[in-house]
Structure formats: C-alpha cells, structure tokens
Chains A and B, each alone.
Chain A
Amino acid sequence: MVSAERTRADEAEQVVFHVHSVSKTYLTGAVPVLALRSIQLDLTAGEFVVFLGPSGSGKSTLLNILGGLDTPTSGDVRFRDHWLSEADDAGLTRFRREHVGFVFQFYNLIPSLTALENVALVTEIAERPMNPREALRLVGLTERENHFPSQLSGGEQQRVAIARAIAKQPDILLCDEPTGALDYPTGKLVLDVLASINAELHTLVAVITHNTAIAAMADRVIRLRSGEIVGITRNTRRARPEELVW
C-alpha cells in the first residue's frame, strides 16, 4: 500500500512535457504576428492543468504545439523521448496517433458518422484502444450511440467528442475551450467528465479557457498574455466541478 502510494507520487513528479524557449511567429498577410515568446514550461504526468488567458494570448497556439498539430518557430518541445520540435510530419502524426486526445470548442464531430462511429474512427487506428462503447459509457451516452451529431444536443456532442478523445487511452488530453459553446449546467457536466477521466485513467489533462472559474479545478493554473506566461499558480485544493460558479 505504501509502495503504491509511493509510485503515484513518483509519477506525479515525472515530467512528461518539456517546453524550452518556444516561440512561434505567424505570417498572416504581410504582417508577422508573434504568437508565442520564449515559453518555458514543464508538465507532469497525471496532472490537471488549466491555461488561462484572453483571446490572442497564444494559448491555442501553445496547445497546438503540445498536441503536435503545429511546430514552434524556435525552441524545443519534448514529450518523454519524442522531440516534437524536430519531428517531421510523419513523426507528429505518429505522436498524435499514439499519445494525444483532443477536445475542441466546436466538437468537430464528423456529421456523417454516428456517435459510436465517431469514436470508432479513433479506436480503429489506436494501438491500445478501449471499446468505443466503453468510452461512450464513461461519458454517460450509452443510449445515444446510434445518433448522428445533428440529433444530439451541444453537451451530448461535446461528450461524444470527449469519448472520442479518451477512447484511445491517450497520455494527454488537450481541451480547447471545451465548455465555450455550452450552457452553464451542460458545461459543468462536461467538466465533471474531464475530472473523472483525469482521476480514473490518470491522463494528463490540459484545458485552455478564458473562463477563470474553471481554474479552481486544476492542479496548476498557467496564465498567458500576449504570447508569454505571466504566472503559474498551484491550487492547494482542487475544487470539484459542481462547486464551480460562473
């Protein structure tokens, strides 16, 4: 029992993401836009991290880089032994396929596939997936598995998106404004699902949001502004989603 506790503690300390002086410049039109400036950050296994910041603060860019959707203009990103900053397209694709789950603000379900099929889309290419039905059970949608996205409410769609993200048993779950398009009670329901995934599957969950209330449920809160980290705070106690108010 003691050794099990010990292992949990070790793992908690284990750095899985190592971000070193990462900058990102976009060229939109003729004007270069500096989206990220010299970001330094470590993320550890199993933690629940919230990135807070107004729009344009660079949080989505950082999330894209962490998820292997984008590469930094300069600096290093390492996930365990993967050097993401140096990986080519095939390497990034492999990284995403093996390690990352995504949840988006606008769910981005495939409209022509049912809830179950949307999940299966991911389990079919994953190495050690869970049963798609099990994933839907975890988000409480067992009875809606044969519905198409257009037949589901926003909250249900987002829960399908979460089921899809966790079905491959990813090491990291990256969520971009997961409650942004949802009403208050539905948003809390979705956060509850995220918290329980974090607890039960021990998945590193990173949520970006501009909703400060959500910060209370995190292990760590990382604030960004204009492409820079302006503060990192550690919550001594994580609030349960039902305690959140906004």
Chain B
Amino acid sequence: MTALHRKLFRDLFHMKGQVAAIALVIACGVASFVTMRAMYRSLLRTQQSYYAGYRFADLFAELKRAPDSVAARLREIPGVRQVQSRVVMDVTLNVPGLSEPAVGRLLSLAPQQTGSLNALFLRRGRFADPTSSSEIVASEAFATANHLALGSRVEAVIQGRWQPLTIVGIALSPEYIYEIRGSGSIFPDNKRFGVLWMPTHALEAALDMDGAFNSVAIALEPRADEADVIARVDRILDPYGGLGAYGRADQISHRFISDEIAQNRVSATIIPAIFLAVAALLVHFAFSRLVTMQRPEIAVLKAFGYSNSQLAIHYLQFSLLAALGGYLLGCAVGWYYGIRIAAIYADFYRFPILIYQAEPHILLWAGILTIATAATGALGAARSAATLPPAEAMRPEMPPDFRPRLMDRFKVQWMHPAVRMTLRNIERRPWRALASAFAICASIMIVVVEFGMFDALNRIMTLQFRDAQREDVAVTLIEARSATARLELARLPGVIRSEPFRIVPVRLRHEHRWRKTALLGLAPNSEMRTMIDQHGRRQLLPGDGIVLSTALADILHITPGETLRVELLDGRRSSFSVTVSGTVDEILGTNAYMDLHALNRLLQEDRSISGALLQVDAAQQQKLYQTLKGLPAIAAVSIKEAELRSFTDTIHRSMTLSIGTLLVFAIIIAVGMIYNGARIALSERARELSTLRVLGFTRREITFILLAEQGLITLFALPFGFLAGYALCAALAAVMRTELYRIPLVVQPSSYAWGFLIVLLSAIVSGIFISRRIAHLDIVSVLKARE
C-alpha cells in the first residue's frame, strides 16, 4: 500500500460520519434497485415459465351452455391450436370453521392432466378419481386460509342439494395465480372465495351439463391473429349464450400480475434514481469541502511531483471507497429484503415456486450505477484538485467572497447578527442551499407519497364499503325470480330491511366499441347501494336511461345524451337501446346502473329480481348465515364486513413492510443531508465560530448559529416537499388508473405531518451529532493554525 493510499484510508476514517451518511444513502439506492429489479425479473421469469410449463391458455370464453360438438367447431378456427371445454359454476359452500357461507368456483378437472390447458400444479395429495362424485382438488390459497387439509370436507349447494366434497388434493392453477372472484374486487378474499376442481363427469352430472360445456379455454398457434380468432369464437358461441371471448389481457389474474410486474419495473427505476441523485449531491459537497481543506496538502503533493491526474484519481477514490461500502451494504439489504417481499408476494400470487434471485448482472448493474454516482458526485472535487495551480494552492484560500447582495439592499440591521450571518451564508452559496433543499424535499416527498397512498386506500375503503355498499349482506339467486322471492328474503332471520336488485350480463355497444359488463338494476332511491364518485359525492339514479361509470363511458367514447346498444348475454339473444343519462366517476370497476323497474321493462320481465341487499340485525347474524347456507336457490352470499376485514388485513400486511422501510430510507436521506451540511458548515466556519467563542458567545449560541442554516434550508424545503409529495401522488393516481380501479387523490393532513415529523426528527438527530462535535471544538488550536 502506498503512502497516498494510507492517507486515503486515514482521511476516510477521520470523516467517518460523513462517509457513513454517503454510504447509507447509496445503500438505500442499491438496495431498492437490487430488490425491485430482481423482483421484477423473478416475477417475470416465474410467470413465463409457469405459463409455458402448465400451458396457460391464450383465450377464454364463457357461455350459457353448448353441446360438446361446438367445441369441435372451435378447433377448426384457423390459428387455434388447442381447445379445452369445461364446466364452471359458482356455488355456495359451507366451510368448517367459517360461520358465513363462502363461494366456491367449481371447475371441471380434465381426466388426464398431461397436455391439458391451465394444468394444475399438485402441491399435496392426488388428483380426484375421475369416477368419484365427491372428491375434489382445492386451491392452495383457499385451503390455507381456511386451514383445510387433505381429507377435510366442505359442503356445496349443487342444484339445490347439499353435497359433501372431500379434498384429496391441493393444487395451483396458472389461471388463478391471483385468486379473486371477479372484476369487482381488488384484493383476494381467500377465506370466502376458492376454486375447487371436480372430475368432469361428476360435475357435468351434478350441474345437469352432460355432454355440454359453459366455458372454454383456447390455446393459439404462435402467429395467430388474436382479434380474428376472438371474432370467430364469438360468432360460433353467440347462439349458445356466449359472453364474448377475451384474451389474456382481460384475464383478471394475468392482468393483476402483469400490472404488478410492470409497476416493479417502473419503481426499480424511479426510487433508486432519487437515492442515487441525493447520494451524488452528498458526495459532491463532502469531497469538494475536503479538497478545499486539503489545499496545502495538494500543493505539497504537486510540489513534489505528483501529477494532476494522480491527485484527481486520489480524490475520486475517496468517493468510490465510500460508495463501495454503500454498495456492499445495499446488496446485502436488497437481497434480504427481496426474500421478505417474495414472501409477501407468495401471499398474493400463488406460484408453484417463486424464487427471488438477485442475478449477477443485476448486482453488476447496481455496481455500475454506484460507480457512476460516486464518480459524478466527486467529479467537481477531483477536477478542482487537479486544476488547482500548485503555487496558488500554497497560499491560503481567499477569504470567502462576501459582498453586499440582495439581502443587504433591505434594511437588515434589526436582525440578530446570527441570523444575518446565516442568511448571508445561504445567499453566498445559493446552489448548495438549493441542493440541500432538494434532498430534504425528496425525503419529505417519499414520506408524503407513502402515506398518501395509504390515504388513498383508506378512501377507497370508505367509499366502497361505507358509502357505496351500505348493505350488510348481498344475496344472489341462482336464477332471476319473481318479485315474491324478495318477500321470502325479507323474511329471513335478522333481516331488518331488504332491497331487490336485478343483475344481467350484457355487452354494451357504442359505434364500433363494446364492452362486456354486468348491468345492475337498483330499486328507486336505493339506500343500500348508492352511486358515489371519487370525491364522495352521491349521484341519484334517474328513472330512465342508464348510468355508466366514467371509466366505462371513456372506453365506449360515449357521453350523456347519446344512445347505447345493450345486448343481453344471459342466453336470450335480444338487445335494446337506451339513452345514457349520466356518468359517475367511481373508484372500482366498470359498472352500469339502471332503475330496477326501467330495466325490468326493457327486459320485458314482470318485476323479476336477481337477489337482494339486506340490512341485518347484528345479533342474529350467525342465525342468518346458517339459514343462508341451507338455501338451495342462493348462488352467492357476500358479506360486507368480511370483505372489508379481508381488504384491511391484506393492505396492512403488505403496507407495513413498505411503509417501515421507506420511512427508514427517508430518515437516512434527511439525516445524511442535514448532518453533512452541518458538518461542512462547521468545517468552513470553525475559525469564525471559535472567534465568537473567544468573544464570549456560549456553546449553545454558536451551535444555534451553525444549525440555523440547516434549519432555514429545511424550513424552505418543507412546502416544496409537501408539494412534490402531492404532485407525485397525483402522477401515481393518473398512471395507476386502470379499468379495475382508480386511485383517488387524497392526501390527508396527517400524511404531511408525517413528512414534517420525519424531517424534524432527522434535524434533531443531526443537531445532536453536530453539537457533540462543537463541544470538542478546540478554540485555541483553530485560531493558531494558519488560515
């Protein structure tokens, strides 16, 4: 090791506080990059290999009922490689240990798993015996959530009869990696919704679907034209109540995972970029100051023949070494953190195996980014070390150039001298103050955005589960019944109030655009289900016409007053036109609403209903659930409290880790910046502060003078941090707006308060560190040393 290297290491050790701050900020950047980038790659690879290995279908279609021969016609469509027809039915389940009824999706289990589409990955047990009528394979998420093991029994209401089903296998399907019931939900509720696979013959017999199917999965040839195949499939299935075929892009599980993967990719760029930018600033300040302080040393080295490039490299090495520490720490944290995140992902997304692996090239890229950050930050320091003329370096640095500036044009004599000193200091180095403010701003922004997203989720929860869905229980009947059914539902135990609804699958068409959705007919002046927009404003349902959610209206390019074509997809091949009477900017889904009676009229029905929304006496809840479990005519029961609970649980589980981590990250940025800023100020102003001490100022006073500058910069940064946080929330709300959900832009005052608190805390921590250094300031030696 050369003497210059020894100097390097000893100097680095001497400024260990600053080096640690730099290393920590770089570690945050590297950790977030490694975690997110590796997560992105791992998810993508897992998804691709799972899809390929278990033959995830390319197209899907649901229909009322078609004979098996129709499947053969689908096979003849050019571009179709494989067709798998099946029977799918949602039924009410009685799950041991669960008081309320659950919904089970029964799916036919192809006799031989080899070669079939959407093949099952058998986690435990075996496939059901094809000849058995009571054996089923259950999805892992459902089994785990309800503590069901091999041999456990559940009961299902099939065709009005209770049927006991025995779990013989627990499996995963590429179709239900994200296991949610339909487009109305965002988070899985694995306790109350699960997929169950039953041998084909048994299911067909049970549902009276012998030799027929009501769902089909299709694999395409590699170069097939998806849109063309969809159109042909729709033409063939239309007479059989086809609900319209759709590709992977509209398959709900695929869509959620793909969105998640895409989001990871974006965050893997933005978040590390923020940290590395701050790190570069810290490097710049710390090592520029070092070069200034080491002017005499640089002069000596040059006098003895060290070349400019040797010195430039010497000062680059400072930042590279500091960064190396951050890089190693970041890789370790990123790796550990990735494993934790992968465990959370495994809760949401059911893959046979999700291996989080930080590939060497990701670590290599992280290294390249680290080096680039360190080098960019230290460029100024290295350049000034290289270009410092030795004869000039020999002389002490010119006293800082204080001239009357903007501030002094005003009468500032009334200000305390300490305040004047602080203001002049900031005014003299405005760029540095701005850069410090930028970093503090970034720190506040991170906190505000994180809490702002939490606010948004809370708002979704309130809007959806408190304001829009006011019922306690929604009961859906297997088939539409006459209005008398409502009276029966109203007589159920504990029901205080009931409101009928009619729901019908439709295809809405406007010009060449169309969308499949469910048209919901609500009672006039419904109190249980209201239309609430993003801002919590209630909209009334007009007696005529159809109301669309804004997302749906945008997709169809339709505005109120225009006419919409409604094609019924419930087996009747009829359609009607209706005027759009309004739009409502809802948070979830793409919905369409009509007045119940108007819908009945258009459907040419006499007051038929699909189910009812019930308000229930809490004391009789259990009794109601027991009764509902036993009613064969009921297809599904959804219980709001349970949904809400599952929603909150999921959010809390996934957000605790990320909020905690980002808070730590934000503190590291803020402390790093404030502490470094104060350290540099201390080093620059040591003589000035010592002079003040000699003149009789107390230690507390000079600590104040020193920290006032950082304090002012922090105060200045606060509103911009709030603003940036709000702006980023708005940007995220706009970017994350999907057909499935909208993120409302709500940032509660508490979120800003958190941002403020974090920065305040960081400032206090930095202040404590600095005041300890001031306590050790050796006044006499500072003054005696050559300026």
Contacts and interface: CB of A to CB of B under 8 A. Distances in A.
Interface stretch (B6-14, B258-266, B365-373, B645-653): B6-14
A69 B3 contact: no
Given A104-B300, A113-B6, A121-B3, A98 B305 contact: yes
B11 A112 contact: yes
A64 interface: yes
Interface stretch (B22-30, B354-362, B386-394, B589-597): B386-394
Contacts of B303: 67, 69, 96, 100, 102
Contacts of A93: 302, 305-308
B390 A108 contact: no
A89 interface: yes
B409 interface: no
Contacts of B2: 120-121, 124
A102 B306 CA distance: 13
Contacts of A67: 303
Given A102-B300, A112-B10, A112-B14, A120 B305 contact: no
B739 interface: no
Contacts of A165: 304
Nearest to B299: A108
A89 B302 CA distance: 11
A70 interface: yes
10 contacts: A69-B299, A69-B390, A70-B390, A97-B305, A100-B304, A106-B296, A106-B786, A113-B7, A121-B4, A121-B304
A122 interface: yes
A213 interface: no
A147 interface: no
Contacts of A113: 3, 6-7, 10
Interface in B245-300: 296-297, 299-300
Given A110-B7, A112-B6, A164 B304 contact: yes
- B2, B296, B305, B394: most-surrounded residue (chain A CB, <10 A): B305
A122 B3 CA distance: 9
- B11, B308, B391: most-surrounded residue (chain A CB, <10 A): B391
Given A113-B6, A121-B4, A124-B3, A108 B297 contact: yes
B394 A64 contact: yes
Contacts of B578: none
Contacts of B6: 112-113, 117
Given A90-B307, A102-B300, A104-B394, 13 more contacts: A69-B299, A93-B305, A93-B308, A96-B302, A96-B304, A109-B300, A110-B297, A112-B6, A113-B7, A120-B2, A121-B304, A126-B305, A168-B304
A61 B389 CA distance: 13
Contact of B3 (A61, A89, A90, A117): A117
Nearest to A124: B2
A67 B300 CA distance: 12
B300 A108 contact: yes
B20 interface: no
A94 B305 contact: yes
A118 interface: yes
Contacts of A120: 2-3
- A67, A101, A109, A112: most-surrounded residue (chain B CB, <10 A): A112
A116 to B, nearest CB: 9
A168 B786 CA distance: 28
The 7 residue pairs across chains A and B that have the minimum distance between CB atoms = A97-B305, A112-B10, A70-B391, A121-B3, A69-B390, A69-B391, A64-B391
Nearest to B11: A112
A165 B305 CA distance: 11
A125 interface: yes
Nearest to B386: A89
Nearest to B294: A110
Given A104-B394, A106-B786, A121-B4, A97 B300 contact: no
B386 to A, nearest CB: 9
B301 interface: yes
A68 B303 CA distance: 8
Contacts of A61: 391
A69 B302 CA distance: 8
B302 A112 contact: no
Nearest to A121: B3
Contacts of A168: 304
A9 B303 CA distance: 31
Nearest to A90: B307
Interface in B647-703: none
Contacts of B301: 110, 121
B628 to A, nearest CB: 79
A122 B4 CA distance: 10
A57 to B, nearest CB: 16
Interface string A98-138: 10111010101111110001101110111000000000000
Contacts of B305: 93-94, 96-98, 100, 122, 125-126
A106 B395 CA distance: 11
B388 to A, nearest CB: 11
Nearest to A132: B3
A120 B307 CA distance: 16
A110 B298 CA distance: 9
Contacts of A126: 305
Contacts of B308: 89, 93
Contacts of B296: 106, 108
Contacts of A97: 304-307
B17 to A, nearest CB: 16
A90 B307 CA distance: 7
A51 B238 CA distance: 108
A14 to B, nearest CB: 23
Contacts of A109: 300
Nearest to A181: B786
A61 B303 CA distance: 14
A98 B296 CA distance: 21
Contacts of B11: 112
A96 B389 CA distance: 14
Interface in B701-745: none
A61 B392 CA distance: 10
Contacts of B786: 106
A118 B3 contact: yes
A102 B297 contact: no
Contacts of B4: 121, 124
Contacts of A112: 6-7, 10-11, 14
- B297, B299, B304: most-surrounded residue (chain A CB, <10 A): B304
Contact of A102 (B14, B304, B389): B304
Contacts of A96: 302-305
Contacts of A106: 296, 786
A143 to B, nearest CB: 20
A112 B391 CA distance: 22
